[in-house]
A and B are shown apart, each in its own frame.
Chain A
Amino acid sequence: MEFRHKDIIALRDLTKEEIELLISTAENMREINSRDIKKVPTLRGKTIINLFYEASTRTRTSFEIAGKRLSADTVNITTSSSSSTKGETLADTALNLLAMKPDIIVMRHAVSGSHYFLSKKMPNCSIINAGDGTHEHPSQGLLDMLTMKDRFGRLDGLKVAIVGDITHSRVARSNIQGLTKMGSQIFVAGPPTMVPPGVEKLGNVTSCATMKEAIQDADVVMMLRIQQERQGKTLMPNTREYSRYFGLNPVNLKFAKPDAMVMHPGPINRGVEMSSAVVDGDQSHILKQVENGVAVRMAMLYHVCGGELE
């Protein structure tokens, strides 16, 4: 099995075998993270630019550590404003970055599909998507699948509930694309204002009327972050009512399988999408997700960066 893509922009673009390879490489990368000298020389001399058009401490740090552990030189560019307000277009930014000869650009951008645009402008540079608008967040999808595989030893046949704002969630899209390819069953629930049209056709997805229906007998309960800035004012009355009907707590968690794992892409709004008792409870795998994030991102950097066998 070989990974032959220049970029990783969406799990929708990858085959089952390619996803398995990335997960397997990530599993084997974890050994590096557990030892005293957490570094291998693999990407020595490679330059990685972390280009973040949206603030993100967690994902950016995780990619930065991943790059450094592979001995790449990593540079962070964080721009809080969008390109248009700053006055420079993404195309011009791309041309400027190109002059610095980076090997990989890890980008987060508020506009869905921007990475495809950037990739066309930079044919000799790998592009990794660290989140694009409401499209995909492939590293999160991969680390979620790795965390599930750690717990169950498989992904095939798992029943995964995803609860929250599906419409605006790139995490949900990447998980749906990836998990469907790996043979899991996905059940989504959220207020109808947050469930997009045709969600069932995205993959092996069942749309449920209530949260209870979605998490019934689930192996995995994945809660999505409620982002007021994305939901605007029209999708729900307030977070209080949201948490009452779509928040995870020790009572409704009992509908899932007794050993079900609880996941959240973070950062968590405690008391909104999840109660603290669940966040800090035995079934929570949230910190394991974070830990797996570094290994998954190392695997992504390793495989896109490539290397020709002499």
Chain B
Amino acid sequence: MSLLIKGGRVIDPSQGLDEVLDVLVERGVIKELGKGLSAPAGVEVVDASGKCVVPGLIDMHVHLRDPGLEYKEDIITGTRAAAAGGFTSVCCMPNTKPVIDNKAIASYIINKAKSEGFCNVFPVGSITYGMNGERMSEMGELKEAGCVAVSDDGKPVVSSELMRRSLEYARGMGIMVISHAEDLSLVGEGAMNEGFTSTEIGLKGIPRVAEDIATARDVMLAEYTGSPIHIAHVSTKDSVRIIREAKARGVKVTCETAPHYFTLTDDAVRGYNTNAKMNPPLREADDVAAIKAGLKDGTIDCIATDHAPHHLDEKDIEFNEAMNGIIGLETSLPLSLALVEEGVLSLKQLVEKMSCNPSKILSIARGSLKAGSVADITLFDPAVEWTVDAEKLSSKSKNSPFIGWKVKGKAVATIVAGKLVKA
């Protein structure tokens, strides 16, 4: 549990650092940062020259499918995929079977992750009991059990009254509400983004306004109640605008987007590719541009994957019948580094959005390399080029539209509490 990481480029926005330094880790804690540190006897030395050394990456939006849907993923395979992708912490969504709506399920996840997992798992409890949209779950106990937020992710809280009360109640319990913003009546039977592509290939469209209306409602409820809110998987240009304007007014709103929303458009659906089917759906070029602008100007705080593993049988079927979602843990870093290459983000901003901001938003004591912090550290090589190969992915499911892509940038070491979990 003691390591000396030598000669890496340390990028830690929490202390305004971006320079070549050595990092000494002792007993799972960061002991010291400095130049030319020497390794005490028996301490393993990791050569980080040419690599970036950053606070451990945090994916605040993943589906680990455990308990109940282990045929898609489980805590072991999911955290192994996370570690492979450079993540030291993940927040798992509550749409498991049973739903994470009570202390027992939350504890099961935390304990299993601690004993068998490869990285930290912070569960997200459900807003409503059973995610049925009718009655609040026991948010106080969920928080006590270790949940870092509540969300009914996968579906919206349809009742505005219940959403309002949930925001108020959660504020009292000191737990963040993550909104899955979607107006179901506008979505209807829609299977992809509504636009020219849906017109041409004859699939029923989901209009962007289905997301925007729900985003606007939840932002307004947060403003009215004075409660913080986090909007999950923002995909449209108008949702970015709504959040930008709300932030300017002082609303306590934060949000995230996923790599596929700044990498792909609904063109990827052509050929009825079910690995390009997700919710919210892939949008259009102007949305992609707006997402990038939102990341650049800080409107979008975080990059989270919405890692959604599905079995081949749930994807290798007719488009309308296929499940929504793609895996993302092992492709998130290179796809996000492409934004750095493109000049959309600086490396510092990237680290903020993939580590510092999620830790702040969810009050997780991570996201920093300050002496005394838990030694969650990610080492990545921004220059290495590789091809995404389904066979080599750690996730139990292979539902990714990026299989076969040539990408650049890869985690080379993932260190959780001073322990090398991936090298």
- Residues of chain A touching chain B, judged by Cβ–Cβ distance below 8 Å, are 12, 83-84, 89-91, 109-114, 116-117, 132-136, 167, 170, 173, 196-199, 201-202
Query: Interface digits, B306-334 against A, CB 8 Å rule (1 contact, 0 not)?
Result: 00000001001111110000000000000
B104: CB under 8 A from chain A?
no
Partner of B200 from the list A12, A109, A116 (CB cut-off 8 Å) is A12
Residue of A nearest to B317 (CB): A89
Q: Which residue of A lies closest to B319 (CB)?
A: A113
Give the contacts of B246-275 with A (CB-CB under 8 A): 271-272
B352 contacts the other chain (CB 8 A): no
> 21 A-B pairs, CB-CB below 8 angstroms?
A83-B318, A83-B321, A89-B317, A90-B318, A110-B320, A111-B320, A113-B201, A113-B203, A113-B272, A113-B318, A116-B272, A132-B202, A134-B202, A134-B203, A196-B198, A196-B205, A197-B196, A197-B198, A197-B199, A199-B199, A201-B199
Q: Mark B353-396, 1 if CB is under 8 A from A, else 0.
A: 00000000000000000000000000000000000000000000
> What is the CB-to-nearest-CB distance from A223 to chain B, in angstroms, rounded to a whole number?
20
B67 sits at the interface (CB 8 A): no
* Given A90-B317, A91-B317, A117-B272, A136 and B202 contact (CB-CB distance below 8 Å): yes
Q: How many A-B residue pairs have CB under 8 A?
A: 71
Of B194, B198, B318, most A-chain CB atoms within 10 Å: B318
The chain A residue with its CB closest to the CB of B207 is A197
Known: A90-B318, A117-B318. 19 other contacts (CB 8 A): A83-B321, A89-B317, A111-B319, A111-B321, A112-B201, A112-B202, A112-B203, A113-B201, A113-B202, A117-B272, A134-B202, A134-B204, A170-B202, A173-B200, A196-B198, A197-B198, A198-B195, A201-B196, A201-B200
Q: Which single residue of chain B is at the shortest CB-CB distance from A174?
A: B202
**Per-position binary interface string of chain B over residues 266-305, scored 1 when its CB falls under 8 Å from any chain A CB and 0 otherwise:** 0000011000000000000000000000000000000000
With both chains docked as a complex, state the minimum distance between the C-beta of A192 and any C-beta of chain B, in angstroms: 13
The answer to whether A111 touches B196, judged by C-beta atoms less than 8 angstroms apart, is: no
B316 touches A116 (CB 8 A): no
Alpha-carbon distance between A12 and B318 when the two chains are bound, in angstroms? 20
Min C-beta distance of A97 to chain B, whole Å: 16
In the complex, what residue of chain B is closest to A90 when comparing beta carbons? Answer: B318
Q: Report how far A173 CA is from B316 CA in the complex, Å.
A: 26
Kindly name the residue among A90, A112, A114 whose own CB sees the greatest number of chain B CB atoms within 10 A: A112
Measured in the bound complex, the distance between the Cα atoms of B270 and A116 in whole Å is: 11
- Considering only CB atoms, which chain A residue lies closest to B320 in the complex? A111
The 4 closest A-B pairs by CB, nearest first: A135-B202, A198-B196, A113-B272, A196-B199
- Residues of chain B within 8 A of A135, CB atoms compared: 201-203
Interface positions of B from 203 to 257, Cβ below 8 Å from A: 203-205
A202 to B320, CA, bound (A): 22
Residues of A close to B316: CB separation below 8 A: 91
Q: Which residue of A lies closest to B203 (CB)?
A: A112
Q: What interface size band does chain B fall in? A: 20 to 34
Name B269's closest neighbour in chain A (CB-CB): A113
Task: Chain A residues near B318: list those with CB within 8 A.
Answer: 83, 90, 109, 111, 113-114, 117
Max chain B C-beta neighbours (<10 A), residue from A12, A198, A201:
A198
B266 vs chain A, min Cβ distance (A): 11
> Nearest residue in B to A198 (C-beta to C-beta)?
B196
Q: Residue on A with the closest CB to B199?
A: A196
**Shortest beta-carbon distance from A86 to chain B in Å:** 12
Please give me the residue from chain A that is nearest to B272 by CB atom: A113
Partner of A117, one of B198, B202, B203, B317: B317
Q: How far is the CA of A112 from the CA of B203 in the complex (A)?
A: 6
Taken together as a complex, chains A and B put the C-alpha atoms of A47 and B319 apart, in Å, by 28
Closest CB in chain B relative to A105 CB, distance in Å = 15
A12 CA / B321 CA spacing, docked (Å) = 24
Chain A residues with CB under 8 A of B200: 12, 173, 198, 201-202
Known: A117-B272, A197-B194. A112 touches B199 (CB 8 A): no
Most buried by B among A12, A114, A117, A199: A117
Residues of B close to A111: CB separation below 8 A: 318-321
CB distance from B269 to the nearest CB of A (A): 9
**Do B195 and A197 touch (CB < 8 A)?**
yes
Mask for B173-208, Cβ within 8 A of A = 1, else 0?
Answer: 000000000000000000000111011111111000
A177 and B390 CA atoms in complex are apart in Å by 36
Please, which residue of chain A has its CB at the minimum distance from the CB of B316?
A91
- CB-CB under 8 A for A116 and B271, given A91-B317, A197-B196: yes
CB distance from B191 to the nearest CB of A (A): 8
Bound Cα distance A112, B317 (Å):
12
Which residues on B sit within 8 Å (CB–CB) of A83? 318, 321
How far does the Cβ of B195 sit from chain A's closest Cβ, in whole Å?
6
* Shortest Cβ gap from B192 to chain A (Å): 10
Tell me which residues across on chain A come within 8 A of B198, comparing CB atoms: 196-197
Q: With a CB–CB cut-off of 8 A, which chain A residues contact B317?
A: 89-91, 117
Bound complex: CA of A83 vs CA of B319, how far in Å?
13
Chain A residues with CB under 8 Å of B272's CB are: 112-113, 116-117
With a cutoff of 8 Å between Cβ atoms, the chain A residues found around residue B271 in the complex are 113, 116
A89 to B312, CA, bound (A): 13
